[in-house]
Structure 1
């Protein structure tokens, strides 16, 4: 409904509309790397399908408004992105690993760790979105870093960057977890003159510092809340 409402608003005021879609529209891809022309391999009734199909529906709505109501739309299919200001416990693998390493907890790898993903730094994504909005091409465009890592390789990079003594803990994987994910960004290179600049080893230290500060602030906040509640309980 949010996408539909915003498309209606863009139509009324003549605004250009940006849809931040996702690499999840490709599901568990049979094509590797994935081009924008690939239609995907999505289980419509799987545990993960509500997000995948929701984004696919949003793309359909955007293109219908573009074709039928001449709304200027731009569609970005965003691959895994990380960087400062991510929530500590948002469930995404990079923030999970970094937070666990800083807290001296085991890094949790689901399955055998051989599934692959591609990780782009947030500043690269922002530059891609700006290039997309300032350009004259509807898309969709893959915006991601084509550097591909297995989950075990990612865990090792996090260990190397933050805490070499960290251990790895394996757990059962979730259903329908894609085996491979890597963007073909040749279209974005050609039409948007865009490609990512920040490698994973360059970006992770920036995220580590931010996460460390957030953990300190959270600890201070929790301590202050405890003191306040204790004093309040004593007063009453």
Structure 2
């Protein structure tokens, strides 16, 4: 019997790749998205597949469907998008979690939460391990996302303890690849778009801040492996690439790979922008046998090729995002 998977946020960057992967495995996919940040362009190549179904729906409202497993990816994930409507962002994380958990409880099916490295905030330990509680500003401009995801994790574990629900909580570190929105303000898309246009590459702060970048195919492999893992392994588990790069190193690599004449300029560091971000993936290696396979240069080359194919007249990246 074919498994039917529900992917909330399925028309987004990660959701579209996950939907594609599940279809390739022979599963039916119900893609749910309100298209606030997702786009039908991300899934247009899937619409003709008879095993793929798209439903426009906001997860802050209950969803009545029949499925065998749930991947909850619904939430704006870039600072530009989640700061545009912070109240809706935190509602999406919390009410969305309540609704998918209620659905999973009714159907008695496993549910995976796409959480985030942002639950660690501006960390005091490096690299970040899953037992670190984080250092998060509860009232800052990023709090709608950070605290929303932290509250969602609380709900998942409370449903697990109180109702014996089969949950998986996955903390995603910076992910990049084809289908990123060129105007979403994330650092990889910002740098690539600026380099291809020959514009100045904007770095927030002195460029010494670090991030660890995971190519989307590796991330999806980790997500699927986690969902298929033993029921008693609920997480949280870090899924990301432990390779650590400064913002200046990333900018220089993008300039090299694009052959751009862009120059680096520095802007003030936004509020609460983390100084370091690197996952400890010891747990993922031990429990899932997973680790990323794609080196940064190879992943950037594929991502640059995707952006070269887009309309060059697309909106310029914004300057309010920081180094996310």
TM-score normalised per structure 1: 0.90
- Is the counterpart of residue 60 in structure 1 residue 154 in structure 2? yes
Structure with bigger helix share is 1
Shift of 1:70: 1.1
2:265 matched residue in structure 1? 169
- Root-mean-square deviation (CA, aligned residues, Å) is 1.2
Q: Distance in 2 between matches of 1:170 and 1:53?
A: 29
1:13 matched residue in structure 2? 107
Q: How many residues align?
A: 219
Q: Residues 114 and 218 from structure 1, CA distance in 2 versus in 1: closer, same or farther, beyond 3 angstroms?
A: closer
1:119 matched residue in structure 2? 213
Q: Deviation per CA, 1:69-116: give whole Å up to 9, x if none.
A: 111000110000000011110110001101111111111100111110
**Residue segments in structure 1 that go unaligned for 5+ positions in a row:** 220-236
Match of 2:248, SS state, is helix
- Is the counterpart of residue 194 in structure 1 residue 280 in structure 2? no
Q: 2:190 aligns with which of 92, 96, 114?
A: 96
1:13-92 aligned within 5 A: 13-92=107-186
Q: Distance in 1 between matches of 2:107 and 2:161?
A: 17
- Is the counterpart of residue 152 in structure 1 residue 230 in structure 2? no
Match of 1:215, SS state, is coil
Choose between structure 1 and 2 for higher RCO, CA contacts under 8 A separated by at least 6 residues. 1
Q: Which structure has the greater CA radius of gyration?
A: 1
Q: Distance in 1 between matches of 2:171 and 2:298?
A: 23
Q: Deviation per CA, 1:186-228: give whole Å up to 9, x if none.
A: 0000000000000110101101111011125859xxxxxxxxx
1:142 matched residue in structure 2? 238
**Residue segments in structure 2 that go unaligned for 5+ positions in a row:** 1-94, 316-324
